[in-house]
Amino acid sequence: MIRKRKYGGREILYRSYPRMFRYQPLKFLLYLVLVPVAVGLYFLIRWWIKNYDTRLTLTDGLVIFERGILNTNTTEVRMVDIRAVEIDRTFVERILGTGTIRISSAASDGYEIEIIAMPNPEKVRRIINAGRRGESSTE
């Protein structure tokens, strides 16, 4: 029996957070080299916490952007209200499978959600576009 994950009673289609190595691999390797000096360990932990406190969740009808560990800020946008999904990827990000995702809704002029270094940005766009059309996307 496959148990489906839920968020507020809705089925979770995608949930992830930014990836450190995939976003800036050279910076990651530099910090690893500096770990024996303890400076690298400090920067790695700080960077990990910054990335881990940012989460993107897609359910069947909602896009939820959460930021924070102790104090949290949550932005929820209904998929039917999304005006555009923009993906920005450098050459290295394309190779590593990450990108910057920008989501704008009908209620705002700018971007409602902007998150860098997200894995599988094309999958995020497919799920959101299916939700905008009212289809179910179970990938």
Write out pLDDT tens, residues 9-55. Answer: 889 999 999 988 887 888 888 888 888 888 888 988 988 888 889 99
Q: Which domains does the chain have, with CATH numbers?
A: 11-133 (2.30.29.30)
Taking all residues of the chain, what is their mean pLDDT, rounded to a whole number?
88
Separation CA 58–CA 16 (nearest Å) = 9
Predicted model pTM:
0.83
Lookup result for tokens 């995608």: 14
Cα-Cα-Cα-Cα dihedral sign, residues 45, 49, 51, 52: positive
Query: Are 132 and 79 spatial neighbours (Cβ–Cβ below 8 Å)?
Result: yes
Strand partners, 65: 56, 75
